[in-house]
Amino acid sequence: ERERAAFMTPDIVKQPRKHTGRARVIYEPDAKKTRRTTLATTQREEMGAMVARFTAWARGLVSGLLPSYAPALQLGPATFRVCPRTRVQGLHVDSFFFLPTEGRRILRLFSNVNPTGMPRQWQLGREAFEPFARRFLPRVRTAVPGSGWVLQRFGVTKGRRTAYDHAMRALRSLAKGDPQYRRSGDMVEFPSGSTWLVYTDSVVHGAAAGHYALEQTFLLPVEAMADPAKSPLRILERLSGHRLV
């Protein structure tokens, strides 16, 4: 408790020029590296150890809930959000610019660890991924040939940005940029102390309010799914008529 209390302040996060509540500490489990924090060496290590324990707990929980997926799950970054969100995030599906998934699913576990009992609020879209994709896919422009290779070659992305990653990123941007669609969801609350698990690459969502949360990202190869046809990759390939990875 004492350790956690020491980190419950926005002062530990490197803030961007424009503060929106998006600033967060990032922990990379494979490298055991903590980024985007103002903490010095010793406290940085303590922070990393705290988030690492959350990562281990999250992995155990997901493996227990989804035992058939456990062998294929790949650990992504963990984040600690200690800054209050100052505006409603537009509805979108997740796609990481710096970490292309190359078709893998994005499964994320969230925990509201607010010490004062404040709930975390999201807005959830009213349509499934396929109608969402049908709505915006016609407006997605083709990626510049070779751009994925260039981004990887010069270290901009950790992996190759495929046609799938390009399409998902474009869908995300188009939805968030649509003034009517971006605020068309239904509000839900996650109480302090609660944990929820979401395929954030297919569930249309947007964070609305909250303060203090831990998140763990997992990547799951489509082939490991019980029904790969329901993945965004297979849906987009069917709608576009060609392979995307």
| Count of other CB atoms within 10 angstroms of residue 225 | 18
Which of 8-17, 23-32, 150-159, 182-191 tops mean pLDDT?
A: 182-191
CA distance 52 to 177: 35
Residue ranges of the domains in the chain?
Answer: 2-240
CA geometry: angle at 161 spanning 152 and 239, to 5°?
A: 170
* Phi, psi dihedrals of residue 136, rounded to the nearest 5°: -110, -20
Q: What percent of the chain has pLDDT over 90?
A: 71
Residue 118 pLDDT > 70: yes
CA geometry: angle at 212 spanning 53 and 59, to 5°?
A: 30
CA distance 204 to 135: 13
What is the pTM (predicted TM-score) of this model? 0.91
* Phi, psi dihedrals of residue 101, rounded to the nearest 5°: -90, -15
- Mean pLDDT over 35-55 rounds to 86
What pLDDT is recorded for position 3?
Answer: 57
Give residue-wise pLDDT tens across range 166-184: 999 999 999 999 999 999 9
Angle between helices 232-240 and 163-177 (to 10 degrees): 90
What pLDDT is recorded for position 169?
Answer: 97
Band of pLDDT at residue 1, cut at 50, 70 and 90 = low
Query: What is the residue-averaged pLDDT of the chain?
Result: 92
**Burial environment of residue 191 by CB neighbours within 10 A (0 to 12, 13 to 18, 19 or more):** exposed
